[in-house]
Structure 1
Amino acid sequence: MLYVYIIIISIIIGLLRKGKLSSLSQISLKRIELIVLACLIQAGLIFLWPKKVKFVLDYSSYLIIFSYIVLLLAVWYNKKLKGMKIIALGIILNVIVIVANGGHMPVLLSSLYKAGLNDFALVLKEGSYITHALITDKTLFGFLADVIPLSPPFPDPSVVSTGDFLMFCGV
């Protein structure tokens, strides 16, 4: 949902800068199926994890990393579009921290509380979430992890990483 808000904000900024909505139709994304595939993989993991699907439990770390590689490939096909280099940098930073931490994006507990995500904090404290894990003293590249709280009045409270922020800027 966060990305939907980012797209809406991007459109509003474009309009404030005297852009036209009709200009959006001129954006020609190549290999959009790669973007869809990456999103489906990540959504599928989150959807299937509570159902304890063995394949998902056994290969979730690899699937998350694979989804980011697919997303990077989509960005490469669209590298001539404005903002894609910034998006690529954001994805690469996220991949670095996820790979370094066993396929999980580390999250700062205090940032979860600041964003009002107390329930998610409890899930991560149990250590039982498929895509994320709490930052510990063993976390590598913690500065690239989800440490930036987006709290109310932001419409979709969340905790994001530097890589996420760069991707938002690229969009």
Structure 2
Amino acid sequence: MLLLVGYGLWLNNHLRGLWFATLGLLSNTLVIFANGGHMPVSPVALRAAGMEYAIDEVARKYDAVHSLMDASTRLWMLGDIIPLRIGDVYHKVISIGDVYLAIGVALTILEGALQARRKAEEPFDIDLRF
């Protein structure tokens, strides 16, 4: 799956926003591979995001994707270390790769919208000569 996403990004490298998405994908892939197939998650960030309940679950590798950061974590700075908390509604911990992915997706959508607007504003080139 990762190869397919990478291939799709490569085919669409003319879209400048996707360069950020590619950087995010590479960042997340690198940290996951460096840590045996698991995305390391900071327990400090989990607490800051109001997700203390998840610390034990992540420590037991409950979801098979994440692992709790410790002294042996490689490339910890690329792991899930950024706490997000919006009131009592939204709690999440993300990585810098996730940030780059979000920026890349937003820029790609914006770029597509601007291109569509420019096309819509172009005058029609109609040859009325007979």
Range of TM-score over shorter length:
0.7 to 0.9
Is 1:70 aligned to 2:10, yes or no? no
Report the aligned-residue RMSD.
1.6
TM-score in terms of structure 1 length: 0.57
- 1:130 corresponding residue in structure 2: 64
Unaligned runs of 5+ in 2: 106-130
Is 1:108 aligned to 2:35, yes or no? no
What is the Cα deviation at residue 114 of structure 1?
A: 1.1
**Structure 1 residue ranges, 4+ long, deviating more than 6 angstroms after superposition:** none
- 2:52 corresponding residue in structure 1: 118
Structure 1 residues 15-54: aligned runs within 5 Å: none
Which residue, out of 67, 80, 103, partners 1:146?
80
The residue type paired with residue 105 of structure 1 is M
Structure 1 Cα separation of the partners of residues 61 and 45 of structure 2: 17
Higher-helix-fraction structure? 1
- 2:22 corresponding residue in structure 1: 88
The residue type paired with residue 148 of structure 1 is I
Change (3 A) 1:166 1:134: same
Say which one has the larger Rg.
2
Higher-strand-fraction structure? 2
Mean CA deviation greater in 108-117 or 125-134: 125-134
What is the Cα deviation at residue 156 of structure 1?
A: 3.0
Unaligned runs of 5+ in 1: 1-66
Aligned to 1:166, the other structure's residue is in SS state: helix
Change (3 A) 1:120 1:70: farther
* Percent of paired sites with the same residue: 32
Deviations 1:111-168 (A, max 9, x none): 0111112232220122333110011111100000000001123853211111111111
Deviations 1:12-68 (A, max 9, x none): xxxxxxxxxxxxxxxxxxxxxxxxxxxxxxxxxxxxxxxxxxxxxxxxxxxxxxx33
